[in-house]
Chains A and B, each alone.
Chain A
């Protein structure tokens, strides 16, 4: 699976959009981009995933560049409850289905 690079930490004001970048320059054509988050001491929570097209769900939007070498997770209106570590994961669509977590980005939403 391709390696990902994320900033170690970011701050965001409550109510503003949080834009979390992820670099995955070695991604291959059949690898998906997944985002999970982990709120303090809890199990990780799935947010969104995509292959080529931009995706949106009730939690967030995922913007993938045309060359697929980077992506951005957007939380449109961050709340204090969004404070967490956010993991960008690149995974091939195989039967293994296991996630490889890096260090992630620690997002602190400020009141």
Chain B
């Protein structure tokens, strides 16, 4: 399917477990982003990537790890999940430095018990 997809869409995990959220885009966009959205709040940037093998921290990176070995994939790993990481996670992409529009995935709802 064309576009940007996230998996899983829903995940329940226990405190202390490692969890990986997947993001895949079919456009070969250079930029990819991970945001989290807590109940009743706007989105906050976790990490972003300008190209394969180039990543940088956003506003709330602690407790998360990212990698980008291929242009189309940008997985987000919670190394040791905590209850405060219960949130909805959105992945986004944009074509290039000159592209102002970000395309968002459908989100992953993560619950840490």
Contacts and interface: CB of A to CB of B under 8 A. Distances in A.
Contacts of A100: 45, 59
Which of A42, A44, A95, A97 has the most chain B CB within a 10 Å cutoff?
A97
Interface in A72-110: 87, 95-104
B74 interface: no
A96 to B, nearest CB: 7
B97 A103 contact: no
B102 A99 contact: yes
B48 A43 contact: no
Number of chain A interface residues as a range: 20 to 34
Contact of A43 (B31, B41, B50, B90): B90
Number of chain B interface residues as a range: 20 to 34
A68 interface: no
B48 A97 contact: yes
B42 A87 contact: yes
Contact of B42 (A45, A49, A103): A103
A46 B102 contact: yes
A105 to B, nearest CB: 11
Interface string B38-74: 0001111100101000001011000000000000000
Given A44-B102, A104-B42, 7 more contacts: A34-B100, A43-B90, A43-B105, A46-B102, A95-B97, A97-B50, A99-B45
Shortest 6 CB-CB distances between A and B: which pairs?
A43-B104, A101-B42, A46-B101, A101-B43, A98-B45, A44-B104
